[in-house]
Amino acid sequence: MKLSVVIPVYNEYNTVLTVIDRVAATPFEKEIIVVDDCSTDGTAESLRELKRDDVELRCFFHEVNRGKGAALRTGFEQVQGDVVLIQDADLEYSPDEYGRLLKPILDGNADVVFGSRFLGGNNRCHLFWHYVVNKSLTFISNMFTNLNLTDMETCYKVFRTEVVKRIRIQSDRFDVEPELTAKVAKLRCRVYEVPISYYGRDYAEGKKIRWIDGVQAILSILRHNLLAGRVEPLRQPKVAGSRSPSSGPKPP
């Protein structure tokens, strides 16, 4: 199994190299795909100068700032591994938890895994209204997708590459999170949630999400659940030793 870690980056000069170090140290065969979304704080320059011999690393650069969704769209187009994992560049999420995130897929039980900050991990207690908005958006999303997620807005989303290849990201900003969730549900993917730790930042430390992103998330939920057309469900991988329906006994 080869893991493709996609890291969207915007103005994370103080943390991005540390994140890459920590991802590189994880015990998996992997490629790291970094997409700089036109940073202005020196992040792009530090990435252009970065050379690593211990891990397959590829960096891509946007000439105009467009948002997380646009960066993920660029990154997803480049993946060559068997499983795709989204990693933020701000140290709020720990690469030490990759094993937990990957297990349901490696065990053959899941097509997609969400890492939930609300299932019992070690979490910093702060920003109450962010928590309220997050839970509200997750509730609204669940109403339309019929999933029982606890954390739709989580960064840690992991996909079998076949799923990624079936998704065409349309959102440019943070509204990509409900879009991905809606499209995973439409594909009828087997979705698992696992608990993760979360080391949240406040605005003084560089947090970027704003109230307008919550409004855009609601619009994204409506757009990608109500207005999107029907899609062919994801074909599930065959289980070793199983028989095709045509090889079994005929119904009476």
CB 105 within 8 A of CB 113: yes
The reported pTM is 0.88
Instruction: Kindly tell me if the per-residue pLDDT of 245 is higher than 50.
Output: no
The predicted structure's pLDDT at residue 73: 98
pLDDT (tens digit per residue) in 152-182: 999 999 999 999 999 999 999 989 999 999 9
The predicted structure's pLDDT at residue 12: 96
Q: Using 50, 70 and 90 to split pLDDT, how confident is the model at 234?
A: confident
The predicted structure's pLDDT at residue 48: 97
CB 153 within 8 A of CB 138: yes
CB 116 within 8 A of CB 149: yes
The predicted structure's pLDDT at residue 86: 98
Looking at per-residue pLDDT, the higher value among 68 and 252 belongs to 68
The Cα–Cα gap between 9 and 16 comes to: 8
The Cα–Cα gap between 209 and 22 comes to: 24
- Return the exposure string of 8-30: e unless at least 16 CB atoms fall within 10 Å of the residue's CB, then b: bbbbbbebbeebbeebbebebeb
Q: How many residues appear in the chain? A: 252
**pLDDT mean across residues, the chain:** 89
Instruction: Kindly tell me if the per-residue pLDDT of 130 is higher than 50.
Output: yes
Instruction: Kindly tell me if the per-residue pLDDT of 247 is higher than 50.
Output: no
Which class does domain 3-229 fall in? Answer: alpha beta
